[in-house]
């Protein structure tokens, strides 16, 4: 279920990333879906999606 939520949140990231940056949508979604995960891991996932 978590993978589906994160995947659905990452779809608009490609569009928004060109204008203001992908962290605007994906980082809050990652923190909402995985609240117990270390923040450095979530920020690393965000950087990985931007590549």
Tallying the residues shown for the chain, one arrives at 51
- According to DSSP, residue 51 is labeled -
Considering only residues 7 and 21, tell me which one the structure prediction assigns the higher pLDDT.
Answer: 7
Structural domain including 14 reads 2-50
- In whole angstroms, give the CA distance from residue 19 to residue 32: 23
Q: Has this prediction a pTM greater than 0.85? A: no
Map residue 3 onto helix, strand or coil.
helix
How many separate domains does the chain show? Answer: 1
- In whole angstroms, give the CA distance from residue 17 to residue 12: 8
- Which pLDDT belongs to residue 22? 67
Query: How does pLDDT run across 16-44, given as a tens digit for each residue?
Result: 776 787 677 788 888 999 999 999 999 99
């Amino acid at each position: 279920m978590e993978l589906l939520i994160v995947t659905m949140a990452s779809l608009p990231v490609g569009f928004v990333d060109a204008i203001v940056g992908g962290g605007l949508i994906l980082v809050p979604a990652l923190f909402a879906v995985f609240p117990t995960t270390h923040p450095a891991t979530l920020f690393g996932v965000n950087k990985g999606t931007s590549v």
